[in-house]
Structure 1
């Protein structure tokens, strides 16, 4: 990555920070026309999420200066918002909890915050709201705040909707470029497969599925007709990095295999490359076996070994 690219990215993040702090009003001395600063409001919020919390735990959670936090807590205690007592487990530590008055103040702050966010969202349409929520979730996840979905997280496997084929082409192009260095010629191959499906697939013998997590596409797979009426092809398997580890890849492959069996195919084949280790593990678990391998046409100078896998249905 060039120095100019890094400088541009730094400038963009700083510009976003300036914009967003202005939008949510944190540049003022008080939050949402209340008596509390942003830091004070956050301390009340964190205390309100638990029945009680140790002082040291609160300081570490918010990375606050010990002296600054101590003065703040003293003001809350003097104002009747906070009760502080020594820990029964360790007399050297103090345990904090909000009083009924403190919880009432927190309710006021939460209502004011919700109202402000509601006013921010009101002018936006449904699609813009989803786009905004998706972008915010992505920022949290990339910067390490939001945990990645774990195995057992709910997801949906559904038929394609308008726009899904474009998403499949786009995400194949982006992910394989980022993870394997493949160029636009691979994206072109995926586009041709998607176009063939859109223009002439037989719904009795061919199908495509989208995996969806939190309302957003997270994976895909396609069952297409093979070289003869007895053979089906598994194509376009993709799982977003944020959704890996949830079992989505295996579920998509199982869906594809089961459809092919119901459609009357006797055999299923797929083409992959040797570098795709995670995909190969999914195929093996689904009963596919490596049939043949040979040097492939490189995408963007990347040497690949093409593999053909198959299984009986």
Structure 2
């Protein structure tokens, strides 16, 4: 194909994408003054969703995730704070940062937005067959994969084979971030590494450790282990690193004949609970004596 033909083909492809953009922005209601005809503009609604999904996200991390101008982001956040939907809190790890949390009013607003969004999309899908809905979701995932920035630092997930200073530092950051009372001691770290039904996984972007997850054998339940210490640094969020850590953990657990993975959490960690539910975890009865835990879940691993 010569240069002229290539340019002509590219022009046709650009036109096709622009035509699709015009279609879906109208179909999804993105051109309306208020998102879903509610009380928020689309960007305001997206900020509220991100703060709900990532409690204590920083303004800088939010700006990077949404790819917004710093001044515009600042004005939007100031407006949401004035309306008592978001509040700033003190950082557990960096005094220079003021992480963001939803207020009680903000939580109710996000709940309304989620209900409105689900109802809107449900209405779009009702005329499709199950096969067509599955094809649509697969196509959307394919579009995202093709358009993701390949220039980003590659992600690497590794299972520890020996105690690591980076792992200890990240675990300590996790303990402080979620105020963990029952913490792992150095000796228990070695036991997690040595036990074939346990393990520690770290996520690296280039040479920086940005995430972790722990699998711990449960002696009180047969063929079961426990998911613990799932954490991703705020600066690395938005890249599905938590999902990839859990993928690695579950793949390893299957290889060891583990049938169930349990976990505990508490009600304030709404983003984590949402992630676990999305991945097939279901509520269950209390299975341990963790004094901080209020939510208990488990997942059966299909072989």
| TM-score between both structures, scaled by the size of structure 2 | 0.46
Higher Cα radius of gyration: 1
| TM-score between both structures, scaled by the size of structure 1 | 0.45
